[in-house]
Structure 1
Amino acid sequence: MSTTVSTGEVSRWRGALSGVLSVLTALGFGHLAAGLINIESSPIFAVGNAVIDVTPNPMKEFAIAQFGEDNKYVLLASMAVVLVLAAAVAGALSRRSWIPGIALISLLGAVAVLATVTRPTFFAPDLVAPIVSFAAGVGAFFWLHTAAKQKEVAVPAAGAADTTPEEGSAESTTKEFTWEIPGVGRRTFLVSSSVVAASAGLAGLGGRLAAQSIDVEASRQALNLVPDEPAPPIPSGADFVDNGTPAFITPNNEFYRVDTALTVPRLRAETWRMRIHGMVDREIVLTYDDLLARPLVEKTISLVCVSNEVGGPYISTANFIGVLLSDILEEAGVDPQSDQIATTSSDGWTCGTPVDVVMAPGSDALIAIGMNGEPLPAQHGFPVRMVVPGLYGFVSATKWLVDMELTTFADFTPYWVRRNWAERAPVKTMSRIDRPKSFSRVPAGPFIAAGISWAQRVGIDKVEVRVDGGPWLEADLSTEVNIDTWRMWKIELNLEPGSHRIQCRATDRNGETQTEERVAPIPDGATGWHSIAFTAGS
């Protein structure tokens, strides 16, 4: 017969695996609980958002510059690697005692609770996810640590004996003994590990499915947005796609995305509400139906991210459908002493927009609900976002908009301004080379270079190009759509064989030419001439 006994010690590899699987179990069951209550309270997202909040600005800027729209995935992957390594080390140190492993899980649980309760959108039920996470992690570690210490041994039946001749003797001696059944203890641990791993995976998948049960797509598909005042058709000649520029209108799936949300908020139009309050004569609470009942206008607008380096990709153009923000604020009655519109996203992100920019005649600032003929995509702010031409997005383009307060710059400091970004950030006059590409090889002789330029609220007057430091040559401009959108340029050059460098600069209708001085994007936008090195020849 056989029995299970404890060896009193865990091998390093079993301890390390126990630690890793326990942490994964904690994350999986925490994600499941969050999916049923509020997905943003998931420990991985709560801690991730807290990491974003406390990360020094230079590191954030580096992440955006190096990884672009994938910076959030890089953050989550980095956190996962750190957690796995920490869990493996703590588990390996738990050879004789479960204390190191439980201590790590307890520490992670405390961090998750702290990250959850300090979120600006915290409400009491959000604590369920980190508590469930902690309990699941502790339970899994106890189970695996106990299983890792066990092995099965076989013992003879009562009265049985083994008679074995002693070495060097012809006599036999009877003695009691036990022997280990090879592999049985190992199989017990592997079965336990497999059960825990499967449970963690299923819990995580369940959390994802539960979060997706808020059917955003059904809410979007039920809407049919027809503007009362459509945007003018895009004229022919508005872009030079055949010469290498982007199409004038950016498709929704190609529109740049830069924000702090680790998970896209899932809001339905049917339950959306926004309160306009603060320094106003009367508070207004808007529903989505309220917006649909108002005159809908469509405006063609380019959006630019302040993180855009010289020559960077974070500019796109769309036809936005919405309600003029100035009309709604006039109904609310703005206090003349108010100079800032403080807006809040459903995930707690805050933004401050100058009142005078929004209320200026012809500002075209929108509470937007549509983009390129359809309701806003979820990743671009569905159901409602703000769009204000002429300002960088961090002071103008709140997505998943749920609150609007009229206040002052002295009384309210938004998310990025608290991190020493600019209070007011008008978009700077800029230009970019799209053809040729950096370090490309192009034919010698006649060659058409092309790119884009923008000077929002003012308009582009001219774009100039020079090769190898030679004279500035004026480029041909595309047909202008309006002063709030990009404008394409192209120029035919005669290139000698060899290496070259091309530069461009734009001048707006106020006579201001973009400066050559290179300045980093933060705190209020990059400056400098875009420059491309390439080779001409076969």
Structure 2
Amino acid sequence: MSETRRTFLRHAGGALVGLTLAPLAACERNEVMTLQQGQSLPFKTPVPDFYVINGGREAVDGWPGVPDLSRSDWTLEVEGLVDRSLTLSYSDLTEAEDLPEVSLLKTMRCVSDPTPTVLPENLLYAGTAVWTGVPLRAVLQRAGIDREKTNRLRLYAEDGYNNNLPIGRVYGPDVKTGPILAYRMNGQVLPRDHGFPVRVVAPRLYGYKNVKWLARIEATDNDSVFGQYQNRLGFVDDADVRATSRVSDPLPGNEVPAGDVRVEGYALSGYAGVDRVDVAVDDGPFRPASIQSRESVAEANPDVQGTRQWQDRSSFEYPFAGVWALWSTTVTLSQGQRTIRVRTTDRAGNQQPPTDPDPNDGSNAIAEVEVTVT
């Protein structure tokens, strides 16, 4: 492990789990929803409750802090392997007829969002929102990108943070859902802490690819890994959200009465939609939990019906890839210390492993919650 990574982990709260150093650094604890008692998660996370992660805080030397930008002084540069370099203003991006507005559902999740057994604070580093903006490919089309020569898009933020998207993420399987350049979140103007004026929202990928306060896009034929989270901190470049689950109720250390106990939480995979969630008690067998229905989600969140995934049923099967599925079940608990275990399987067959030997590709071991049954 490099000295830089050791320092980063120490400053941001790295924790030893067994013999594995879990890279909790990627989710430095600046502003998150702290869960002390169990709760039911809403499908769509209210903006005030949405976690805030500023990747540049530890990844950028001399990080200047959250940029204070206005619509009038912000511009986006598009350059590199393009026919014509662009300088786009906020109104250029939001009002142009050739840049159609789209809305997407996406669960933003930090690469190191721990299972509840890792941090006693039970911090939640994930949330789901309706993100609205323009397709990145439409901006690249206006610039005349050379798709034959371009291998990656290098993304630069106003705060000095950077990362990349392989060109296949723009024109490959995700073409119908993004990436987008987002300027609204749950119908509101994108808040400053979430990247105002404009951020990248990349379906299926961990948060560190979703660059906030976007300032410049460079199309390049250089296919080497580019980004501080990868090059400095050691996280994987593909950034696909691995199949994972989380228990939101009960939480580790909670006391619950003996008998039938409701257990609930979320499941997520960037590879494919969630196929099933199974729950076990101690070393007992896994049994299927119920996943919230599409109809129930729409009834509680009418605005999700305007998203690309909801409108194009032929292309997007619910639960959606890269969007959490809320689940619940009832387990019977006897007195004593009991461990509730949760395992997610997606439609591509990816399943949470019993342990996570490589947290650099995301913390996704089977979730375990120990409770006291009285």
TM-score range, shorter chain: 0.7 to 0.9
| Aligned counterpart, 1:467 | 281
Structure 1 residue 452, shift from structure 2 partner: 0.5
1:250 aligns with 2:198: no
**Matched position secondary structure for 2:193:** helix
Structure 1 residue 273, shift from structure 2 partner: 0.8
Structure 1 residue 59, shift from structure 2 partner: 3.4
Structure 1 residue 415, shift from structure 2 partner: 1.9
Is the 1:519–1:527 contact (alpha carbons within 8 Å) kept by the matching residues of 2? no
- For residues 475-520 of structure 1, give each alpha carbon's deviation from its aligned partner in whole angstroms, at most 9, with x where no partner exists: 0111246333100111111111221111010000012211112235
Is the 1:309–1:520 contact (alpha carbons within 8 Å) kept by the matching residues of 2? no
Alignment-mate amino acid for residue 299 of structure 1: L
1:370 aligns with 2:207: no
1:345 aligns with 2:157: yes
Is the 1:308–1:521 contact (alpha carbons within 8 Å) kept by the matching residues of 2? no
Write out aligned runs for 1:172-191 (5 A): none
Alignment-mate amino acid for residue 288 of structure 1: Y
Structure 1 residue 398, shift from structure 2 partner: 0.8
- For residues 396-418 of structure 1, give each alpha carbon's deviation from its aligned partner in whole angstroms, at most 9, with x where no partner exists: 21111110001145457322222
1:321 aligns with 2:123: no
| Aligned counterpart, 1:275 | 77
Write out aligned runs for 1:111-190 (5 A): none
Q: Which runs of 5+ in 2 are unaligned?
A: 15-23, 32-37, 58-62, 117-122, 295-317
1:299 aligns with 2:112: no
Structure 1 residue 55, shift from structure 2 partner: 6.8
- For residues 157-190 of structure 1, give each alpha carbon's deviation from its aligned partner in whole angstroms, at most 9, with x where no partner exists: xxxxxxxxxxxxxxxxxxxxxxxxxxxxxxxxxx
| Aligned counterpart, 2:307 | none
1:532 aligns with 2:363: no
| Aligned counterpart, 1:379 | 193
Change (3 A) 1:457 1:529: closer
Is the 1:256–1:315 contact (alpha carbons within 8 Å) kept by the matching residues of 2? yes
Match of 2:144 among 333, 344, 347: 333
| Aligned counterpart, 1:398 | 211
Structure 1 residue 527, shift from structure 2 partner: 2.8
Structure 1 residue 332, shift from structure 2 partner: 2.3
TM-score (norm 1): 0.55
Is the 1:64–1:307 contact (alpha carbons within 8 Å) kept by the matching residues of 2? no
Identity %: 30
Structure 1 residue 71, shift from structure 2 partner: 4.5
Alignment-mate amino acid for residue 42 of structure 2: A
| Aligned counterpart, 1:389 | 203
1:61 aligns with 2:9: yes
Alignment-mate amino acid for residue 161 of structure 2: W
1:497 aligns with 2:308: no
1:484 aligns with 2:322: yes
Residues of 2 paired with 1:426 and 1:70: CA distance? 20
Identify, as 1 or 2, the structure richer in helix.
Answer: 1
Identify, as 1 or 2, the structure richer in strand.
Answer: 2
Q: Name the count of aligned residue pairs.
A: 313
Change (3 A) 1:325 1:463: same
Change (3 A) 1:511 1:442: same
| Aligned counterpart, 1:218 | none
Alignment-mate amino acid for residue 328 of structure 2: K
Structure 1 residue 299, shift from structure 2 partner: 1.4
Is the 1:358–1:388 contact (alpha carbons within 8 Å) kept by the matching residues of 2? no
Is the 1:450–1:491 contact (alpha carbons within 8 Å) kept by the matching residues of 2? yes
Is the 1:448–1:490 contact (alpha carbons within 8 Å) kept by the matching residues of 2? yes
Residues of 1 paired with 2:249 and 2:29: CA distance? 26
Residues of 2 paired with 1:339 and 1:478: CA distance? 39
**Matched position secondary structure for 2:228:** coil
Is the 1:342–1:412 contact (alpha carbons within 8 Å) kept by the matching residues of 2? no
| Aligned counterpart, 1:22 | none
Is the 2:225–2:231 contact (alpha carbons within 8 Å) kept by the matching residues of 1? no
Residues of 2 paired with 1:324 and 1:365: CA distance? 6
Structure 1 residue 441, shift from structure 2 partner: 0.7
Residues of 1 paired with 2:12 and 2:176: CA distance? 33
**Matched position secondary structure for 2:124:** coil
1:450 aligns with 2:271: no
Between 1 and 2, higher relative CO (CA 8 Å, sep ≥ 6) is seen in: 2
Match of 2:243 among 412, 421, 429: 429
Alignment-mate amino acid for residue 487 of structure 1: A
Q: Which runs of 5+ in 1 are unaligned?
A: 1-53, 74-242
Change (3 A) 1:493 1:290: same
